[in-house]
Amino acid sequence: AQSVTQLGSHVSVSEGALVLLRCNYSSSVPPYLFWYVQYPNQGLQLLLKYTSAATLVKGINGFEAEFKKSETSFHLTKPSAHMSDAAEYFCAVSLEYGNKLVFGAGTILRVKS
Amino acid sequence: DAGVTQSPTHLIKTRGQQVTLRCSPKSGHDTVSWYQQALGQGPQFIFQYYEEEERQRGNFPDRFSGHQFPNYSSELNVNALLLGDSALYLCASSRLEMNTEAFFGQGTRLTVV
Q: For residue range A40-49, what is the model confidence (pLDDT) as tens digits?
A: 888 899 999 9
Of residues B25 and B95, more confidently modeled: B25
pLDDT band at A57 (very low <50, low <70, confident <90, very high): very high
pLDDT band at B99 (very low <50, low <70, confident <90, very high): low
- B41/A contact by beta carbon, under 8 A: yes
Phi, psi dihedrals of residue A36, rounded to the nearest 5°: -120, 155
Smallest Cβ distance to A103: which of B31, B43, B106? B43
CB contact under 8 A, A46 and B102: yes
Which residues of chain B are within 8 Å of residue A36 when distances are taken between CB atoms? Answer: 104
- Asked if the model's pLDDT at residue A80 lies above 70, the reply is yes
CB contact under 8 A, A43 and B42: no
3-state DSSP assignment of residue B28: coil
CB contact under 8 A, A103 and B102: no
- A44/B contact by beta carbon, under 8 A: yes
Of residues B73 and A98, more confidently modeled: B73
Q: How far apart are CA B55 and CA B70, in angstroms?
A: 15
CA atoms within 13 A on the CB side of B43: 34
The pLDDT assigned to A96 comes to: 76
Q: How far apart are CA B47 and CA B98, in angstroms?
A: 20
Residues β-bridged to residue B36: B44, B89
pLDDT band at B98 (very low <50, low <70, confident <90, very high): low
- Nearest-Cα distance to chain A for B33, in Å, is 8
- Nearest-Cα distance to chain A for B57, in Å, is 9
- A59/B contact by beta carbon, under 8 A: no
Look over chain A and give the mean of its residue pLDDT values, rounded to a whole number. Answer: 92
- A105/B contact by beta carbon, under 8 A: yes
pLDDT in tens, B3-31: 999 999 999 999 999 999 999 999 999 99
User: If you average pLDDT over residues B37-54, what whole number do you get?
Assistant: 95
Residues in CB range of A112: below 8 A, 6 or more apart: A12, A13, A14, A15
- Asked if the model's pLDDT at residue B97 lies above 80, the reply is no
**Around Cβ B97, how many Cβ atoms within 10 Å?**
10
Which residues of chain B are within 8 Å of residue A100 when distances are taken between CB atoms? Answer: 33, 45, 48, 56, 58
- Asked if the model's pLDDT at residue A14 lies above 70, the reply is yes
- B105/A contact by beta carbon, under 8 A: yes
Look over chain B and give the mean of its residue pLDDT values, rounded to a whole number. Answer: 94
